[in-house]
């Protein structure tokens, strides 16, 4: 079992995560606390679960290499080297920058296999914000490790919010603010599959373990950050997640909080 009573966050330098109230979590963050990722289970991203992203493919979805619209969820793994927490410093590998995808993360509370949509929420411990980062690229066919699995390319948190505090996970506002630019806004309501349906479809062919995270998917049109930028991501009224994007040389001199 993996359970969350309120708001679970892992302050950097502390051995274990804390499960605290929303106000206590905000106070810690306001005091400048940096965090590790609040979980260390497997993290699975979901592709083309945003209606606009699927629509943007247009007729190309019926041509090679896709050949047809997806009939099941398209997943990819964010490996352990990608995991980081609030206040992460992320190296920008090139001139093209880093796409800052903000996604709802569904945190699994107990072993989930062949779960029906009707009972899916019984398997959810809570929700978190996942900054699913990638090098900008056009094709989504067979997601490239080189684009999506760089160090610190999965920033999670700051906290896991207990399921009891999230009444409508399929209708949450998403915001990404990159300093000096207009905010990017989206909603989980634009998903092809909502939380329950996604869990039913995924657990039909694979088992999710307690502490695993599966994302609802990155909204279409996510903004791009360049070196020197700070991004602040938020879902609803949850405490925001901050990321600093730096040149590769700067990141090399500051060891960052990917999980050990």
C-alpha closest to that of 154 among 97, 199, 100: 100
Mean of per-residue pLDDT scores for the chain = 91
CATH number at residue 220: 3.90.850.10
Percent of the chain with pLDDT over 70: 90
83 occurs within a structural domain: yes
Per residue, what are the HEC states of 35-95?
Answer: EECCCCCCEEEEECCEHHHHHHHHHHHHCCCCCCCCCCCEEEEECHHHEECCCEEEECCCC
How far is Cα 209 from Cα 108, in angstroms, rounded to an integer? 7
Q: Give 133-168 as a DSSP string.
A: EE---S--SS--HHHH-STT-EEE-S-EEEGGG-S-
41 occurs within a structural domain: yes
For residue 112, give both structure tokens: 């989930």
1 occurs within a structural domain: no
| Mean pLDDT along residues 42-56 | 88
For residue 14, give both structure tokens: 């502390």
pLDDT digits (tens, 9 = 90+) for 189-202: 999 999 999 999 99
259 occurs within a structural domain: no
Flag whether pLDDT at 258 surpasses 50: no
Question: What global pTM score does this model have?
Answer: 0.91
Max distance between CA atoms of the chain, in angstroms, equals 52
pLDDT digits (tens, 9 = 90+) for 157-166: 999 999 999 9
Contact 174, 234 (CB under 8 A): yes
Flag whether pLDDT at 155 surpasses 50: yes
Q: Which domain holds residue 188?
A: 7-252
Split into its structural domains, the chain has a count of 1
pLDDT digits (tens, 9 = 90+) for 62-76: 667 666 667 789 899
**Polymer length of the chain:** 260
Contact 175, 183 (CB under 8 A): yes
| Mean pLDDT along residues 251-258 | 52
17 occurs within a structural domain: yes
145 occurs within a structural domain: yes
**pLDDT at residue number 52:** 84
**pLDDT at residue number 144:** 72
pLDDT digits (tens, 9 = 90+) for 226-243: 999 999 999 999 999 999
Q: Where residue 213 falls among pLDDT bands split at 50, 70, 90?
A: very high
């Amino acid at each position: 079992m993996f359970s969350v009573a309120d708001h679970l966050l892992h302050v950097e330098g502390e051995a274990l995560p804390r499960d605290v109230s929303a106000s206590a979590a905000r106070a810690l963050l306001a005091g400048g606390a940096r965090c590790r990722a609040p979980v260390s289970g497997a993290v699975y991203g979901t592709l083309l679960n945003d209606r606009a992203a699927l629509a943007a493919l247009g007729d190309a979805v019926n041509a090679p290499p896709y050949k047809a619209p997806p009939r099941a969820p398209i997943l990819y793994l964010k490996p352990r080297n990608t995991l980081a927490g609030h206040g992460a410093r992320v190296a920008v590998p090139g001139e093209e920058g880093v796409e800052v995808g903000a996604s709802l993360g569904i945190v699994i509370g107990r072993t989930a296999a062949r779960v029906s949509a009707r009972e899916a929420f019984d398997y959810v411990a809570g929700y978190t914000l996942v900054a699913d980062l990638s090098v900008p690229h056009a094709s989504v066919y067979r997601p490239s490790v080189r684009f999506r699995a760089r160090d610190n390319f999965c920033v999670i948190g700051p906290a896991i919010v207990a399921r009891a505090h999230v009444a409508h996970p399929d209708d949450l506002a998403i915001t990404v603010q990159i300093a000096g630019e207009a905010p990017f806004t989206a909603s989980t309501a634009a998903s092809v599959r909502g939380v329950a349906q996604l869990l039913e479809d995924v657990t039909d062919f694979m088992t999710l373990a307690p502490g695993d995270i599966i994302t609802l998917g990155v909204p279409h049109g996510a903004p791009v950050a360049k070196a020197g930028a700070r991004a602040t991501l938020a879902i609803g009224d949850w405490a925001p997640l901050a990321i600093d994007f730096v040149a590769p040389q700067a990141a090399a001199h500051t060891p960052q909080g990917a999980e050990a």
